[in-house]
Amino acid sequence: MAGKGVFKDMIDGEVYKYYADGEWKRSASGGTVSILNPSTRKPQYKVQACTQDEVNKIFDSAKAAQKLWAKTPLWKRAEALHRAAAILKENKVAIAEALVKEVAKPQKDAVTEVVRSGDLISYTAEEGIRILSEGKFLVSDSFPGNDRNKLCMSSKIPLGVVLAIPPFNYPVNLAVSKIGPALIAGNALVLKPPTQGAVSCLHMVHCFHLAGFPKGLISAVTGKGSEIGDFLTMHPMVNCISFTGGDTGIAIARKASMIPLQMELGGKDACIVLEDADLDLAASNIVKGGYSYSGQRCTAVKVVLAFESIADMLVAKVNAKIAKLTVGPPEEDSDITPVVSESSANFIEGLVKDAREKGAKFHQEWKRDGNLIWPVLIDHVRPDMRIAWEEPFGPVLPVIRIKTVEEGIHHCNANNFGLQGCVFTKDINKAIMIADAMETGTVQINSAPARGPDHFPFQGIRDSGIGSQGITNSINMMTKIKSTVINLPGASYQMG
Ligand code: G3H
């Protein structure tokens, strides 16, 4: 159970502690931050409202711990990560319980998120051993005036302290996708969990605690954005920020100092369906891609661009599948569960209202109960409707009918976002040409967008982010190159 058994040290009365210096602590502020259960809309958990002074102490210990960790043999770092992965998986039920209660993730998906996270950590340990054990060796005689008397050895070294800020929708998985690479590369890690999802994150951090990482190497600080948000992201001891979330990432990028940034900031992933597509395959992927976790995934299908000639048939198939989706509480493993907050639900309702007023066609009745929104497919959407461009992060999906491939590509590229896109066709040549023309970080051919498998490169362009994720890219991103040049005496070769 969340907060009990092996997790009992994390909680004080009904408030979860923050993690610093290898211990669970109460904040001197005496304040707390409340986390609402999206289903009941009542307070579910409380976490500490940490102070700037506590943040400063966390960075001091992180810096000290990192110096020693960087000298810890790679195989030992990998062993510790494997231990954390095993402990995480052993405690999947307790962690899933927190995911269900604070982000309304369907029970089964919550367990899957924890298991996927354990797998990700183990792979990261192995990949780290492979890529961090390699160096590069150059000799100097490629440029005029040089001889073979200089030898350059380069290897990857840690950046220092990495600040990780995961989002509410994958608080465990998108946290470990930052923690694993940071630690295997020899960095220290400061985690700022999202408010909604904080308790799941803290449980995951406790698994790292139980795995026996050195004190101060990992910390988790909770609190109010107004008090510690900018203070954390602009802190002079942060050497790298890895953030996943919404627009806040753009503000962070503007304020951060000259440090590497890895940002994943949402998307409006387009799904282009051509006349020759397998419509059953496209419909299944549209429903899975558009409505799983109630559309609250940055990689969700967020606009369908269907050829006019097949649109009616495709829409009918999608509607038939939507009719089978179950709607209800996450504890019952419903397909559609409450969205994360009332303000999200209001935002989604605003997009729907705008589309309705401008003449879009609704195939399902609009229904909302608190944060629970019944799935809708909004047809005959036109570019003057907000839903054509904005990211609802909810179970509502617009369909735009197109006459040409160019029209589809144009809509995809005219968007501020550029995370992923997908194209359905049986013509592989066309698929590749369209994929080439779509200005997104990834294009999926005949499947819905998705981040995983977790070692694939994952990146967005424009407002969808900067830097590339995926295990290998994240490890590389959280290191820098160090070169040592050996200068041998004199030239050994003379022309003529
Ligand atoms: O919400 C953003 C996530 O990176 C999406 O991950 O494709 O595994 O659902 P996913």
Question: What is the overall mean pLDDT for the chain?
Answer: 97
- Measured in angstroms, how far is the CA atom of residue 151 from the centroid of ligand 1? 44
Q: Specify the pLDDT at position 4.
A: 81
Mutate-to-test residue for ligand 1 from 103, 170, 422, highest number of ligand atoms within 8 A of CB: 170
- Domain 4-265+468-481 matching CATH 1.20.1250.20: the answer reads no
Question: Is residue 3 pLDDT above 90, yes or no?
Answer: no
pLDDT at res. 62: 98
Say if residue 21's pLDDT is above 80. Answer: yes
Q: Over range 147-164, report the average pLDDT.
A: 97
> Tens digit of pLDDT for each residue in 431-454?
999 999 999 999 999 999 999 999
**What is the best residue among 99, 451, 455, 464 to mutate for testing ligand 1's pocket, by most ligand atoms within 8 Å of CB?**
451
Nearest CA among 396, 442, 400 for reference residue 304: 400
pLDDT value at residue 170: 98
Angle between helices 428-437 and 405-413 in degrees, nearest 10: 30
Whether residue 494 has pLDDT greater than 80: no
Name the DSSP class of 228. Answer: I
Flag whether pLDDT at 1 surpasses 70.
no
Nearest ligand 1 atom to the CA of 297 is 1
Dump pLDDT digits (tens) for 83-126. Answer: 999 999 999 999 999 999 999 999 999 999 999 999 999 999 99
* Strand ranges, E, within 308-365: 361-362
Distance CA 385, CA 160 (A): 46
Q: Which has more pLDDT, 196 or 492?
A: 196
Dist CA 306 CA 385 (whole Å): 17
Q: From the alpha carbon of 451, which atom of ligand 1 is closest?
A: 7
**CA nearest 274: which of 305, 244, 302?**
305
Segments of the chain assigned to CATH 3.40.309.10:
269-445
Clarify whether 23 is annotated catalytic.
Answer: no
Which runs of E-coded beta strand occur in 89-196?
136-139, 150-158, 161-165, 188-191
Q: What is the pLDDT of residue 490?
A: 74
Is the peptide bond preceding residue 338 cis, with omega within 30 degrees of 0?
A: no
Question: DSSP 3-state assignment of 452?
Answer: coil
Residues contacting 227, CB < 8 A, separation 6+: 49, 50, 51, 52
Dist. CA 471 → ligand 1 center (Å): 14
Distance (angstroms) between ligand 1 centre and the Cα of 451 equals 5
Q: How far does the centroid of ligand 1 lie from the alpha carbon of residue 372, in Å? A: 21
- Under CATH, which number does the domain 269-445 receive? 3.40.309.10
pLDDT at 492: 56
Of all protein residues, whose CA lies closest to atom 8 belonging to ligand 1?
451
pLDDT at 496: 53
Residue 253 has pLDDT above 60, yes or no: yes
Q: What percent of the chain has pLDDT over 70?
A: 98
pLDDT band for position 493 (cuts 50, 70, 90) = low
Mutate to test the pocket of ligand 1, among 105, 169, 285, 422 (most ligand atoms within 8 A of CB): 169
Segment 343-359 shows an average pLDDT of: 98
Gap between the Cα atoms of 386 and 420, Å rounded: 20
The ligand 1 site (C-beta within 6 Å) comprises 169-170, 297-299, 450-452
Q: Which long-range contacts (CB under 8 A, 24 or more apart) does 481-484 make?
A: 481/154, 481/155, 481/156, 481/157, 482/154, 482/155, 482/156, 482/157, 483/152, 483/153, 483/154, 484/152, 484/153, 484/154
Q: Among 425, 393, 392, which Cα is nearest to 408's?
A: 425
Q: Which residue stretches of 170-296 are H helix? A: 173-184, 198-210, 230-233, 248-255, 279-291
**What pLDDT does residue 353 have?**
98
CATH 3.40.605.10 domain extents, the chain? 4-265+468-481
Residues in the chain: 496
Q: How far does residue 275's CA lie from ligand 1's centre (Å)?
A: 28
State if pTM tops 0.95: yes
CA–CA dist 322, 330 (Å, integer): 18
Name the catalytic one among 54, 113, 127, 264.
264
